[in-house]
Structure 1
């Protein structure tokens, strides 16, 4: 069986750096508006070939982009829900979900479904947390299709209480007002640069920890293969390391958003925010904020968000 493009081995524990960059560039092109066929044509024109030596087509690229392993994910066999594996990835889970939901997508298990307009959640991936249980909130549509942030419990019983949900556009507009206020303060640029430097150092420490955990995972194989470690002990140790890897990789993705954001002077902040790239707005939010904490609504049906949200600021400037 041929290896999956971007990975060195069948266990998907080692990536090929050059192939990962090719996949990331292809995904970036698709997100920028190119078709899947155009992205595949670019890969072929640049001399990139599949693992069996064939040229890339819309179909072969589509099969690769439909595989959750490229985002460090897998599907639960019973529920079909995506869950993190703790393995190294070619793209982020958010990018993978966007690829599955993008307008005009062909092929894959969801191609025959009518999809809602895609919504990019600005404050997901660990920034927004549930005040009741401390679990990070994720983007999730309501039964009526409204984008929201929700505290979710998952199929293995991990996760949060599953009780709190808040309208995504209202929360994002509310937090954006405060972010713009902080950006308008004197000295904001210097404070952001200091925050970015600190987070870049933390990100590098995370890379080292991930490499060490991957080494431990690899070292487990030898004693298990030689019969020195029982299957139960091997599975338990591998699961524990996998959980640590999931935590470290999620934190690293979170930090990288802030490290990569461009910083520069902007005169009309409100107008700039309205049209700024999604990645820039999210990166600035991560630089400025440690946490967006969401409390339960006062009563069922209450839509106001002001008294439900507490912002914990990262920078020394923020109050």
Structure 2
């Protein structure tokens, strides 16, 4: 099976920088108004070819741009919702979602035209965790089609906790807006931003160390000082650690760069801000959101189910 363009391996853990730049340029051209055929023609004119050496067409480019993996996403087994994987990406999740909505691309190669539209999950960023096993919760629809957050056994969780997305998001927004309305909220935001920047710096160092460790495995393996099984096991551990670090780093960097410059009324800003900016603010102020099981089936009161862990000590 040929590798996915832009990635160096089948596991999608290593990106080819030159091919990633090609994809980003093609996406930029489409977002600027060019058709897929025009973007494919540009790729061919510049000498870029697919992983099997073939020329690009509107269809082959469409297949690539419809693959969630290029944005570090995958579809959940149940419901088909897009969830983040933590792997490296060629474009951002926001860019990917925008591409799927562009009218000029409809019917390219997507099989999901009749599927319900993807819901945007404000807290599907690793910040909401299961109160039973601490596994990050993911967004997905119930069998009735209701957007919800859940702990998934397929991702190593216990599968015991699920909560309706609107209930959790409204609860978090209420407390977040209350925090933003308090006197001195700017100071709290700056303190949280400094904390996020410090964590990002630490994570970048950890990422470099892990990448160096993986590179160092090659020499003893090539010299037959390290067995194949030991090499594979060590590489797998490092890859999993890198996945966690990269995922956390991406979210922390979002938090550190939340676009609040010149915003006077933060509560009003929240009402009209895009989901990506809201998510960044959540990540800036909240370390994690712990969600516990409901007392009984159908109970909609979330006050005793949800615990907000704030980044800044001054936050309530």
Contact 2:83 2:139 in 1 (8 A): no
> Partner of 1:244 in structure 2?
241
Structure 1 gaps, min length 5: none
* CA gap 1:12/1:137 in 2 versus in 1, 3 angstroms: closer
Q: Larger deviation: 189-198 or 120-129?
A: 189-198
Find the residue that maps to 2:35 and give its secondary structure.
Answer: helix
Q: Larger deviation: 183-192 or 162-171?
A: 183-192
Deviations for 1:221-259, whole angstroms, at most 9, x for unmatched residues? 333334332221111111111111111111111201102
Cα displacement (A) at 1:140? 1.2
Cα displacement (A) at 1:149? 0.4
Distance 1:86 1:141 in 2: 21
> Partner of 2:292 in structure 1?
295
Number of residues paired by the alignment?
Answer: 308
> Partner of 1:168 in structure 2?
165
Find the residue that maps to 1:149 and give its secondary structure.
Answer: strand
Contact 2:41 2:57 in 1 (8 A): no
Find the residue that maps to 1:291 and give its secondary structure.
Answer: strand
Find the residue that maps to 1:307 and give its secondary structure.
Answer: coil
Deviations for 1:99-127, whole angstroms, at most 9, x for unmatched residues? 7975865345x515621122111011211
Contact 1:101 1:115 in 2 (8 A): no
Find the residue that maps to 1:211 and give its secondary structure.
Answer: helix
Q: How does 1:67-78 map to 2 (within 5 A)?
A: 67=67, 69-71=69-71
Find the residue that maps to 2:122 and give its secondary structure.
Answer: coil
Q: How does 1:15-30 map to 2 (within 5 A)?
A: 15-17=15-17, 19-20=19-20, 23-24=23-24
* CA gap 1:20/1:72 in 2 versus in 1, 3 angstroms: same
> Partner of 1:149 in structure 2?
149
Cα displacement (A) at 1:142? 0.3
Cα displacement (A) at 1:56? 6.2
Deviations for 1:266-286, whole angstroms, at most 9, x for unmatched residues? 455444322111111111111
Distance 1:151 1:222 in 2: 40
Distance 2:306 2:29 in 1: 36
Contact 1:140 1:147 in 2 (8 A): yes
Distance 1:101 1:166 in 2: 27
> Partner of 2:136 in structure 1?
136
> Partner of 1:306 in structure 2?
303
> Partner of 2:195 in structure 1?
198
Cα displacement (A) at 1:89? 2.9
Backbone CA RMSD of aligned residues: 3.9
Among candidates 303, 312, 315, match of residue 315 of structure 1: 312
Find the residue that maps to 1:316 and give its secondary structure.
Answer: coil
Cα displacement (A) at 1:98? 4.0
2:255 matches 1:258 = yes
Deviations for 1:135-185, whole angstroms, at most 9, x for unmatched residues? 11110110011110001111xxx5211011001012111110111111112
Structure 2 gaps, min length 5: none
Distance 2:280 2:86 in 1: 23
> Partner of 1:119 in structure 2?
119
* CA gap 1:309/1:12 in 2 versus in 1, 3 angstroms: closer
Contact 1:68 1:96 in 2 (8 A): no
Cα displacement (A) at 1:188? 1.5
